Amino acid sequence: MATQNHPKIRNKREDQVQINENQWNSKHRVRKNYIIADKKATQGLKSRNRTVEALYHAVLKKVVQLYSNLPKESDRIVVEMDMKLHPLDNAQMHAFLTPHFLFFLECDFYNHYQIEYWFHNCPFEAVIRDAMKGLIVGSYSTEARMMKDYPTYFKEVLRCQPDRFIRVL
């Protein structure tokens, strides 16, 4: 696999990878906020949530398309997780990270779907922001609080997450 030889993930923290695998394989299950929202939210909120999720995936599709065309393999490394399948995380629904961009879909305790994002020297920031604005994602999204060192954060994610979530576009 191309990611195995990449310098950012050469030094896997096997202990942390194992902890993460154990969490993914846990028999314990938490109540998922998105499932509760689907059952208990008002019809209007359910409709809003479906819209937010559809908009998230539309923007994600555009981001994947953009990143797939970058010339450097190291810029095309992504971490993507369907958090709906994670037995111990009640809020996150989807996570997508690149060396320059973080994109999460979550459902809070009040049954509201929310998009969280962060840019770090992203070569497509203007295009992505425009796509989010064009799809009216702005009213359902929040730019993450400033991260002091996103490259280090991304490097740690690569080192700690199981390989099955890491790929090169």
For 68-89, what is each residue's pLDDT tens digit?
999 999 999 999 999 898 888 8
Q: How many domains, in total, are found in the chain?
A: 1
Can you read off the two tokens belonging to residue 64?
């994947």
158 occurs within a structural domain: yes
Q: What pLDDT is attached to residue 144?
A: 81
Full domain range(s) for residue 76: 29-168
The answer to whether position 8 is within a domain reads: no
Alpha-carbon separation of residue 110 from 37, 107, 139, 144 (angstroms): 8, 8, 16, 19
pTM: 0.85
Buried b (16+ CB within 10 A) or exposed e, 139-162: ebbeeeeeeeebeeebbebbbbbe
> 33-42, 104-113, 127-136, 148-157: lowest mean pLDDT where?
127-136
C-beta of residue 65 within 8 angstroms of C-beta of residue 78: no
- If one counts every other C-beta atom within 10 angstroms of the C-beta of residue 83, the result is 17
Is residue 112 situated within a structural domain? Answer: yes
State how far the Cα of 163 lies from the Cα of 165, in Å rounded to an integer: 5
Contact 101, 95 (CB under 8 A): no
Tell me, yes or no, whether 24 lies in a domain: no
Question: What's the chain's length in residues?
Answer: 169
Residue 75 lies in a domain: yes
